[in-house]
Amino acid sequence: MPVNLKPLAVDSIFSVKGISLGIAKANIKKPDRKDLLLVNIDEGSKVSGVFTQNAFCAAPVLLCKEHLKGASEIRALVINTGCANAGTGEEGILRARETCRAVGELLSIKSEQVLPFSTGVILENLPVDKIKSGLPEALKNLAPNHWLDAAEAIMTTDIVPKAASKKIKIQDKEISISGISKGSGMIHPNMATMLSFIATDASINQVLLDQMLKEVTAQSFNCITVDGDTSTNDSFILISTGQSGHTEINQEGKDYEVLKNAIQDIAIELAQAIVRDGEGATKFITVQVESGLDDTECRKVAFAVAHSPLIKTAFFASDPNLGRILAAIGYAGIEALDITKIQLFLGDILVAEKGGRAASYSEAQGQEVMKHSEISMRILLNRGKAKVTIWTCDFSYDYVKINADYRT
């Protein structure tokens, strides 16, 4: 079960002026489940996106990039679960284009104004006829308050829908920010996670929206890992509709910071929700690497620890077999690492220093921390000022079960 994720109430996810969401059951992979989402974006909105760096990126990712570069305003998103349309070659592109064309016809917009997203099994052709059959139903139930249904419609092995929402004020105008995302395996985003969409009715120019997207991604979706597999379909889309009535944000400063911090909060909440609902997860683990020379080496150490199956299974077992953490730090590939300077804390407990076990450390202390479902560790390299925090989960029987049985 997801680690400390509370069920969401429908009214906890605020509507965003200029955004409406429609859901359909299109029988893409399984009968009688919400598997198709149409997002309508009002004219005058701005859209920014980051995508996976996987060389085998999916056809819809290629098309998203093409459409975002084009001259036409983005007016709709179409998202299906059940098939990733990745590893599908030229045929995949054709089918993604056909999906966009169908959406364009329904909404009376150009197909270049549609961004397509897919998630599910790789190496299978997109059932574009099923998607086209489902679209009228999705069109019919377009509504501003369908965020939670939308979160459900993009799930794959996710156990719970993931959404987050917040209201802030800019220039005394009320601003809504709402977002949804899905995980929950093949998670080691290298640009953005599987699928995340955040929209706000704040007003901001395109250059700053793009900049904000990158800054937020670096602090949220690029800080999580479930299994170290970078997906072919990772996409994170940020939309501002500009319908809240304040003057457009055209420079960095207070308004930019307020909006960015709020969007970052939502993005971190969604990113953490992906980890909390990571395949088979029973624990939520925060890995903080401090006093490194730069962010790069801090990230190397943090992800070496977060990816180690040995460490992840020890956390699953609540076994403070913490030497495995030292081993992972040791093979992270950091130049001229002086291991005698490193300090390892589990929660508030000093576990290791001077190249070995801390004199004050007792197994009972480690045991006490390990039994909780939320665990944090701090690794101090004591050689610089950089600091990075990433989030991951443990590795359980259920991860194997879920992924061994994924397609059945």
Give the count of beta carbons closer than 10 Å to the beta carbon of residue 206: 11
Q: Which helix (H) or strand (E) holds 147?
A: helix 147-153
Q: How far is CA 339 from CA 121, 291, 331, 343, 359, in A?
A: 43, 13, 12, 9, 16
Residues 95-124 that bind a copy of itself (CB under 8 A): 121-124
Binding mask 24-63 for a copy of itself (x = CB under 8 A): -----------------------------xxxxx------
Does 86 participate in binding a copy of itself (rule CB under 8 A)?
Answer: yes
Nearest to 293 by CA among 265, 334, 261: 334
CA distance 76 to 88: 23
Smallest gap from Cβ 189 to a copy of itself, in A, equals: 11
Smallest gap from Cβ 89 to a copy of itself, in A, equals: 3
Smallest gap from Cβ 153 to a copy of itself, in A, equals: 22
Catalytic residues: 193
Asked whether 72 and 112 are in contact (CB, 8 A), the reply is yes
Does 334 participate in binding a copy of itself (rule CB under 8 A)?
Answer: yes
What would the two tokens of residue 2 be?
């997801």
Binding mask 208-237 for a copy of itself (x = CB under 8 A): -------------------xxxxxx-----
3-state secondary structure of 357: strand
Does 153 participate in binding a copy of itself (rule CB under 8 A)?
Answer: no
Among 79, 326, 381, 393, binds a copy of itself (CB under 8 A): 326
Nearer to a copy of itself, 203 or 318 (CB): 318
CA distance 45 to 398: 42
Smallest gap from Cβ 182 to a copy of itself, in A, equals: 16
What would the two tokens of residue 241 be?
């509709």
Cis amide prior to 184 (ω within 30 degrees): yes
Does 144 participate in binding a copy of itself (rule CB under 8 A)?
Answer: no
- Listing DSSP states for 255-306 in one string gives HHHHHHHHHHHHHHHHHHHHHHTSTT---EEEEEEEEESSHHHHHHHHHHHH
Smallest gap from Cβ 351 to a copy of itself, in A, equals: 8
Nearer to a copy of itself, 140 or 372 (CB): 372
Among 47, 239, 322, 381, binds a copy of itself (CB under 8 A): 322
Nearer to a copy of itself, 44 or 356 (CB): 356
What would the two tokens of residue 26 be?
């299109």
Residues 174-213 that bind a copy of itself (CB under 8 A): 185-186, 188, 190
Q: How far is CA 221 from CA 147, 210, 268, 393, 402, in A?
A: 20, 16, 7, 14, 23
Q: List residues binding a copy of itself (CB under 8 A).
A: 53-57, 84, 86-92, 121-125, 185-186, 188, 190, 227-232, 307-310, 313-314, 316-317, 319, 321-324, 326-332, 334, 337, 339-340, 352, 354-357, 395-397, 399-401, 403-408
